[in-house]
Amino acid sequence: MTKDIVLEARELSKEVSSPEGRLAIVQKVSFAVQAGESAAIVGASGAGKSTLLALLAGLDTPTVGKVFLAREDLTHLDEDGRARLRAERVGFVFQSFHLVPALTALENVMLPLELAGRSDAKTAALEALERVGLRERVGHYPRQLSGGEQQRVAIARAFVVRPAVLFADEPTGNLDTVTGARIAELLFGLNSRSGTTLVLVTHDRALAARCNRMWIMEAGRLAPG
């Protein structure tokens, strides 16, 4: 692997059992993304995008094939090793925000830093919230925030650990068009300024077209877009 490749899949496949027999959800996927790039994986629901993302992030293990993330072979790590790598090198932004309801915006962003034992958790979290325009909302709970504000908190939480790779799974899917466009601007702006590699999983071709690279997923197979 070249040193500037931060994410690589090699002949990646995932099969599961079904009443009809073995079902291939991801089939022989190979691609690589360089550090600092933005890349999109596009496809309809059921194409295998979310399963592929789970394999790339080490949330699931492939039937065959390999994934290299930040130069580590995920297939050689046990569950604890994959969890450690995710905590240190990966950020996530999901369609449904995944904020902790009982924590304020500030506490939600501090959480990954506190879990990592960082003594500067509060300072770093405040800076991250300021970068996404939420300095005035730090004491608000998720229920007190709009959908767009909740997604901005989720983005601040994802970027606060300065991940090597940020996986965004349909990040604008639950938002109206105007708010979704603002969130997209924020994601691409942070990607550009921080050098974090952005891997975007979406069915939105217009959003995907803004990325440096695009692949199309259909029936578990990946092709250049």
Average confidence score pLDDT of the chain = 92
Question: Which pLDDT tens digit goes with each residue over 82-128?
Answer: 999 998 899 999 888 899 999 999 999 999 999 888 899 999 999 99
Judge contact between 166 and 91, C-beta under 8 A. yes
Mean per-residue pLDDT pooled into runs of 10, the chain (225 residues): 82 91 92 95 90 93 95 93 91 90 97 90 95 94 95 93 92 88 90 91 90 94 91
Total structural domains within the chain? 1
Count CB-CB contacts under 10 A for residue 80: 8
CATH of the domain at 44: 3.40.50.300
Copy the structure tokens of residue 140. Answer: 């608000």
DSSP states along 65-121: EEEEETTEEGGGS-HHHHHHHHHHHEEEEETT----TTS-HHHHHHHHHHHTT-TTH
Structure confidence at residue 1 (pLDDT) = 52
Q: Hey, CA dihedral for 197, 44, 172, 14, is it positive or negative?
A: negative
Residue among 159, 158, 124 at smallest CA distance from 138: 124
Rg value, the chain, Cα: 17
Judge contact between 166 and 92, C-beta under 8 A. yes
Note the pTM of the prediction, 2 decimals: 0.88
Question: In angstroms, how far is CA 158 from the centroid of its own chain?
Answer: 8
What is the extent of the structural domain holding 18? Answer: 5-224
